[in-house]
Amino acid sequence: MPTTVNAYATSAAKAPFEKTTIERRDLKPADVLIDIKFAGICHSDIHTAREEWGSTNFPLVPGHEIAGIVSEVGPEVTKYKVGDRVGVGCMVDSVRLLMFGTG
């Protein structure tokens, strides 16, 4: 069942970021669900949000550098468990989670 979460989004290149809610898809077998505690927005997020590098699909929720705690894992996940502290760099929808430590 999809989950609704809080986010900051922009609706157009010149629009401000505003608090909103978005619906996250169901967890896939190899996914790790992270309770995000910290998120970074880098220069590439801003360039994308302002359409400085080409056309952007709006609304846009930037922020791909995150740190948090694993809250759920798919049945194929073996490296991480609920409660692990993890971080994700610039790779999204990949298996390249970075481990900061556990517990």
Domain boundaries, the chain: 3-101
Render pLDDT for 19-78 as a digit per residue (tens, 0 to 9). 999 998 899 999 999 999 988 888 888 899 999 999 999 999 988 788 999 999 999 999
The DSSP annotation for 34-74 comes to EEEEEEE--HHHHHHHTTTTS---SSB----EEEEEEEEE-
> Which of the four pLDDT bands, split at 50, 70 and 90, describes residue 13?
very high
pLDDT tens column, 70-81: 999 999 999 999
Residue 89 confidence (pLDDT): 76
The whole-number pLDDT of residue 90 equals: 67
pLDDT exceeds cutoff 90 at 12: yes
**Which CATH code for domain 3-101?**
3.90.180.10
